[in-house]
Structure 1
Amino acid sequence: METSHKLTLIISYYLSRFNDTGFRNLGYTTWDEAFKDIALKLDVKKSSVKNWRDEFDPIHGHRVGWYQRPMNPSRVNVVNAFEDMNEEDLREIVFDILNKNIFQQNENLETIDSIISDKQYDGSGKFILRGPTGKKAERYFIKYHMEKGLPVRGELIDTRENGCGYDFEIKNSETYYVEIKGINAKTGGIVFTNKEWSMAKRKMEKYFLVIISNLNDVPQIRIINNPAKELSPKKNIFKTIQINWNVNENDLKNSIG
């Protein structure tokens, strides 16, 4: 299957799953406008975009769809890979495809290319648990904030299980947002999930990144306010599928904090 067809399948899945909300969030006013523009940008037939959307419809219930025949393995692979991704994250991938940014992201393109094939993808590894390093860093921060009142004083509210793009809120006269990253060694890079990085960009100076390194010896703490301004991470799309943003060690060293 050609790469353009594989990428169009992802967009078609998005359109089927999120229906009217989906095409409007992509900036289109009608289905016909969406089909025409997507076909033009991906160099595929307009009818293919519509037909591939319809192939996904039986599992989403917005239209009758192509219920008469079994779903092709490549379509099943798309469903297995993206069914746990929220609308905002999947929309970001769709925009990368439509704007051709995906072709500048060789690793991401290869990942997508390997998933959407006619061979069955098992969909394994969709859920990534918070590891022991992260938990250790979070416990250290709770004690640190209690003793030092940094990065700002106020009531510390645990939001780690809420999946909201940060680990803690600090409330005083205003609300601040804190994301904790742990590094076992003295130096190293960190990884943001797409939701964390999106929240950092949205909250700006109200968002703090707290990096706790050297966790296996004497922990060292570093606080970066407004990391979306101070850091320049590399976007990665993984085979699981999820999006995260990688900040390498040199970028951390060169940032202000």
Structure 2
Amino acid sequence: MIATKNIYATIVAFYLAKYDKIAIEHLGYKSFSEAFTKCAEKLGANKIYIKLRRDEFDPVYKWRKGWYNRPMPKIISRTIDLFDQESESDMCALVWDILEHNKTKSWKPIVSQMLDKKQDAQSASFALRVMTGKRAETHFKEYHAQTGFPISGALEDCTAEGCGYDFRIHSGSENFCIEVKGITDDYGGILLTEKEWKTAMICGERYYLCIVSNLDSTPEFQFIRDPYNSLKVIKRSIQITQTTYSVSKEELIKNK
């Protein structure tokens, strides 16, 4: 059983990992070293524990080289499950509250969710999707550099911004949004978050969905422009009101 103080430390580590220097600034620290020390003091935890936990989020949030070849611990995938859709301001508020009031307040619902073994299958599945997505993003960057598809222009990596897409292409006076999804096999379905789907709706024809399939051998690329108006989706609300939109493999085949 993980101690409650270490659950809180993991939440803090998640915030530091995802938002990097912005998190340091918003918590009022001057460096990661100071953040690890001060946060550990406030939680009664070990500063090395917070640092190591932060490093375990590196395969997902790419500020550092990190531990990309290590299996993702269950507590890490559960934390991502719970908080990845939260805004920076909301996470900052939660972390600040935990740091300042962990001796007098309790966050039992959050602690219970993070310790719930029933969530392991979903969390493991999420971790696999994350790693598949990162591979797909790498392939897309290489593909765009070689071909200029789907739109030629300067490619900007937005994966750390949580803006509803992974890349922005600056082409002339216009900006185009690219959301990348990976599939290990030739065909398969995908999931889009609520934010991704709403952003696709807002951006219309300036939004491209890039499907990178066959990741385990020779990657293949499929681009769907304006997916909001091109695809039929199934809306599902799962766990703490996180909404996703699934696209079946049959629907993707229809749009080839």
> Within 2, Cα distance between the matches of 1:210 and 1:84?
21
Change (3 A) 1:251 1:83: closer
Distance 1:221 1:207 in 2: 16
3-state SS of paired residue (1:123):
helix
Q: CA deviation at 1:186?
A: 0.4
Residue 112 of structure 2 is aligned with which of 113, 122, 137?
Answer: 122
- C-alpha separation in 2, matches of 1:120 and 1:211: 34
Mapped to 2, the partners of 1:170 and 1:84 lie a distance apart of 24
How far off its partner does 1:84 sit? 8.2
**Counterpart secondary structure, 2:112:** coil
Deviation (angstroms), 1:122: 2.0
1:154, distance to aligned residue in structure 2 (A): 0.6
Contact 1:82–1:241, Cα closer than 8 Å, also in 2: no
Tell me the residue number matched to 1:159.
158
Given residue 158 of structure 1, which amino acid in structure 2 is its aligned partner?
D
1:98-117 to structure 2, matched below 5 A, reads none
CA shift digits 1:148-207 (9 cap, x unpaired): 001101110000000000000000220000000000000000000110000001100000
- Mapped to 1, the partners of 2:148 and 2:233 lie a distance apart of 28
- Give the aligned partner of residue 227 of structure 2: 227
User: What are the Cα deviations for residues 15-53 of structure 1, in whole angstroms up to 9, with x where unaligned?
Assistant: xxxxxxxxxxxxxxxxxxxxxxxxxxxxxxxxxxxxxxx
Q: Residues 74-223 of structure 1: matches in 2 within 5 Å? A: 122-124=112-114, 131-172=130-171, 173-223=173-223
Q: What one-letter code is carried by the residue in structure 2 that aligns with 1:136? A: R
Mapped contact 1:213–1:220 kept (Cα < 8 A)? yes
The residue that corresponds to 2:236 in the other structure is 236
Backbone CA RMSD of aligned residues: 2.8
**Helix, strand or coil at the partner of 1:122:** helix
- 1:161 partner letter: A
Q: Which SS does the other structure have where 1:211 is aligned?
A: strand
Write the letter of the residue equivalent to 2:166.
D
CA distance in 2 between partners of 1:215 and 1:241 (Å) = 31
Whether the 8 Å CA contact 1:123–1:240 is kept in 2: the answer is: no
Using the alignment, how far apart are the partners of 2:85 and 2:165 within structure 1? 18
The 2-side partners of 1:222 and 1:83 are apart by: 30
Residues 144 and 150 of structure 1 are in contact (CA less than 8 Å); yes or no, is this contact kept in structure 2? yes
Quick one: distance in 2 between partners of 1:82 and 1:144? 32
Aligned residues between the structures: 145
Given the two structures, how large is their TM-score scaled by the length of structure 2? Answer: 0.52
SS class of match (1:184) = coil
Task: Sort the Cα spacing of 1:231 and 1:155 in 2 relative to 1 into closer, same or farther, 3 A.
Answer: same
Q: Tell me the SS of whatever aligns to 2:203.
A: helix
Q: 1:85 to 1:171 in 2, by over 3 A?
A: closer
- Normalised to the residue count of structure 1, the TM-score between the two structures is 0.51
Q: Is the 8 A contact 1:197 1:228 kept in 2?
A: yes
**C-alpha distance 251-171 of structure 1, shift in aligned 2 (>3 A):** same
1:98 alignment counterpart: none
C-alpha contact (below 8 Å) 1:204/1:226 kept by paired residues: yes
Separation in structure 1 between the aligned mates of residue 141 and residue 230 of structure 2, nearest angstrom: 24
Overall identity of the aligned pairs, in %: 35
Q: CA deviation at 1:82?
A: 9.1
Question: SS in structure 1 opposite 2:204?
Answer: helix
